[in-house]
Amino acid sequence: RLMGRGHKHESDQAAVDARKVIDLDGNYAWGHNTLGSVYLQTQRNTEALAEFQGRTPGQAALSTLNPQLSPQR
């Protein structure tokens, strides 16, 4: 659904589905990867980065400003 033909409705539905998955299991990578991909398609780059890295958008923005704030992996 996500990579279909770029229709806004499909991206919106993919985001809704991904958020449901994340709500059920916040550690499930598919949900974060899908939501990050939707954010990239809609130019929400900070939010996309946060999803791909498993952080909140605020944490991602802070770590961009100060790499010492990035979580240790």
* Distance in Å from the first CA to the final CA of the chain: 31
Q: Identify the DSSP state of 72.
A: P
- Higher-pLDDT residue of 12, 70: 12
Question: Do 69 and 61 touch, CB atoms closer than 8 A?
Answer: no
pLDDT digits (tens, 9 = 90+) for 7-56: 677 888 889 999 999 899 888 888 889 999 999 988 999 889 888 887 65
pTM above 0.85, yes or no: no
Question: Do 34 and 14 touch, CB atoms closer than 8 A?
Answer: yes
* Predicted pLDDT of residue 35: 92
